[in-house]
Structure formats: C-alpha cells, structure tokens
Amino acid sequence: MRSLIETLEKRNVIITLPSKIEWSDYEKELDAVKDESQVMNFKVPFLPKHKPEKVYVCYRGNIVGWMKCCGTVDGKSFDCTATNKHWEGKFIQRTGEFHKIEPIPMKGFRGFRYFE
C-alpha cells in the first residue's frame, strides 16, 4: 500500500486539447509516440509540483483517455513536427500508448488540473 506522501507526489493531471484540433490529426501524433521513441509536449503556464503518473486528455467537453507522463520540462524550445510551429516554455511530456476510456463530461480549461 502506498504512503500518503507517495500518493500526493504521483497525482494525475488533466489537459484540454483546443477544440479546433481534429481528432484524426491528433491520432497521427498519438501514433508517432506509441512506441515511446518520441514524446508529445503540452505547454502549460506552470508545472505540477510533482511529476504525474498519467495525463488525462479532455477533448470537446469530455475526458477521453490518458497517456503515461514521461516528464516535465522548464525552459524548453522546439519546433513541432505536426504543426511546424515554434514553442518555448514549460511543458508536460507524454509518451506511449493512448488509453481510451468511457468519456467523462468535463468543461474545457487552460493549463492543467489535478485528477485523482
């Protein structure tokens, strides 16, 4: 059984994808990181206090699944291969398989929220 400190340090987070993103386009990015050879970055205004285990994804009013969190980075700069856009800042990183779940209604938001 995990201690309370371990549980609090491993909180899961939820992120919201912009509604203008089409799921079919997003699936291409998910496929690229499925084998864990690459990571997906999600820009946030500040980082979680502790690295989460899972990152849940809210899309168009529903939490639709989760991915393994592989890190958090402060001060990263990169060019997105999907959008060809340059990004700088703080990022929550995800990799591996996307695990679909039965949709859970949730209104979208900016940044991230903690989720148990």
Burial call 39-68: b when 16+ CB within 10 Å, e when fewer: bbbbebeeebeebbebbbbbbeebbbbbbb
Share of the chain above pLDDT 90, in %: 65
Residues 23 and 116: their CA atoms lie apart, in Å, by 25
Over residues 70-96, the pLDDT tens digits come to 999 998 787 777 677 888 899 999 999
Is domain 4-102 classified as CATH 1.10.3470?
Answer: no
Task: Please name the amino acid found at residue 99.
Answer: H
Nearest to 67 by CA among 23, 97, 32: 97
Query: Which stretches does DSSP call E strand in 17-85?
Result: 40-44, 54-59, 62-79
φ and ψ at residue 81, rounded to 5 degrees? -75, -20
- The answer to whether residues 90 and 47 touch, using CB atoms and an 8 Å cutoff, is yes
- Domain boundaries, given as residue ranges, for the chain: 4-102
Over residues 12-70, the pLDDT tens digits come to 999 999 989 899 999 999 999 999 999 999 999 999 998 999 999 999 999 999 999 99
